[in-house]
Amino acid sequence: ITFEQPGNAARIRQTGTGEVIPVSRLSESQLRQTISRVLTEESYLHNAQRIKNAIAQSGGVKKAASIIEQCLKSESDREILETGFLPISFTAFPNNFS
């Protein structure tokens, strides 16, 4: 497990769009059961569609690119160049997916 995976897993669980199986509990049986549950329970599809709609309403990829471009034009340019990280605030997005 590297870098962004724990954060992505937490968001998947939090939004109800999927399940997370800890590596310590991972088995063929557990994986089959979890995949079956995610593919058959309507709540996962409903939640995924809700997230899809929220992303579309917020401007999707174009909005994300615009936010990144704005950040690069701001005073944070120096911070990005110095640290290699792009500071992004969750408040930059009008829909918080909740």
Task: Please provide the average confidence, as pLDDT, over all residues in the chain.
Answer: 80
- pTM summary value: 0.60
Tokens of 54: 């929220």
**Whole-number Å distance between alpha carbons of 32 and 55:** 30
Q: Which pLDDT value is given to residue 4?
A: 84
Condensed to tens digits (0 to 9), the pLDDT of residues 9-42 reads: 999 999 999 999 988 889 999 999 999 999 999 9
pLDDT band for 73, please (50, 70, 90 cuts). Answer: confident
The secondary element (H helix, E strand) that includes residue 28 is helix 28-40
* Dihedral angle over CA of 32, 34, 35, 41, nearest 10: 130
